[in-house]
Amino acid sequence: SQTIHQWPATLVQPVGSPLSLECTVEGTSNPNLYWYRQAAGRGLQLLFYSVGIGQISSEVPQNLSASRPQDRQFILSSKKLLLSDSGFYLCAWTPNRGRVTGELFFGEGSRLTVL
Amino acid sequence: AQSVAQPEDQVNVAEGNPLTVKCTYSVSGNPYLFWYVQYPNRGLQFLLKYITGDNLVKGSYGFEAEFNKSQTSFHLKKPSALVSDSALYFCAVRAPTGANNLFFGTGTRLTVIP
């Protein structure tokens, strides 16, 4: 069966420090991968998605970047964090071949607090 | 462009009573519609989806949803609410072709009162 892992689960960082959140998927190959941000426990905003290694699409201009160095690894990064980067970050995946049924499968999330 | 609206920020219901969480959508063409649930500090869990076929869709934990094309709605329902159903519920829509991602509503917090 497929599983998705995110780490770290919680992170407290000072303004101006770098960020790296990691997400890996097991039990599947060539998944579509997504980073969402959830602010104030409510709506989800799609930040990035990837359909393959090295292929990143950005949905909104921001202080963050994403990379996909391996097929099942998706990394969210920042060189210098802002206070507004605080939030709950969720990684998700969906199959990219065969019968695509549409639902996303989410990781447990990473809570980032920027002070 | 596709969008989803959840008109209620908060829904309170007594345990054992039926519950409804509302969702309306806007999308070109036939929609793919989804409901997710989120417990505190957790990721989203998939509940059910509508792609095609029967307008009444049954999902996990006794939940169901009814697709209504004329009203562009996809309300989540459960005949008898449990205290453990208290959580944040998200409706989402995906365009049937091209797009790979989901567009989420702002969420509805369901509280089931013992």
| Residue B2 confidence (pLDDT) | 77
B46 contact residues in A (CB cutoff 8 A): 103-105
What is the DSSP secondary-structure string of A47-63?
EEEEEETTEEEESS--S
The answer to whether residue B39 neighbours chain A at the CB level (below 8 Å) is: no
Give residue A1's pLDDT band: very low, low, confident or very high (50, 70, 90). Answer: confident
Strand segments (E) across chain A: 3-7, 10-13, 19-26, 32-38, 44-52, 55-58, 65-70, 73-78, 87-94, 105-106, 110-114
Half-sphere exposure of B90 (CA within 13 A, CB side): 24
pLDDT(B101) > 80 = no
Q: Nearest CA of chain B to the CA of A75: how many Å?
A: 17
Residue B2 tokens, joined: 């596709």
Q: Residue A90 and residue B107: Cα distance in Å, rounded?
A: 15
Closest CA to A22 of A108, A114, A115, A113: A108
Range picked from A35-39, A50-54, B78-82 for highest mean pLDDT = B78-82
Q: Are B38 and A92 in contact (CB under 8 A)?
A: no
Give the mean pLDDT of chain A: 90
| Tokens matching residue A102 | 């549409």
Contact B101 A103 (CB under 8 A): no
Q: How far is CA B74 from CA A7, A18, B4, B19, in A?
A: 34, 41, 10, 14
DSSP classification of residue A115: -
Please tell me the predicted confidence (pLDDT) of residue A101.
65
| B69 reaches A (C-beta below 8 A) | no
List, in sequence order, every residue forming a beta bridge with A46; answer none if it has no partner. Answer: A36
Contacts of B94 in chain A (CB under 8 A): 102
Does B99 have pLDDT greater than 60?
Answer: no
Check B101 against A107: CB less than 8 A apart.
Answer: no
Q: Cβ of B107: how many Cβ atoms within 10 Å?
A: 23
Nearest-CA residue of chain A relative to B42?
Answer: A108
Give the pLDDT confidence of B29-59 residue by residue, as tens digits. Answer: 778 899 999 998 888 999 999 988 899 999 9
- Binary contact (A101, B51; C-beta < 8 A): yes
pLDDT (0 to 100) of residue A40: 74
**Subunit contact B100:A32, Cβ cutoff 8 A:** yes
**By C-alpha distance, which of A102, A72, A25, A54 is closest to B103?**
A102
Nearest-by-CA chain B residue for A111:
B41
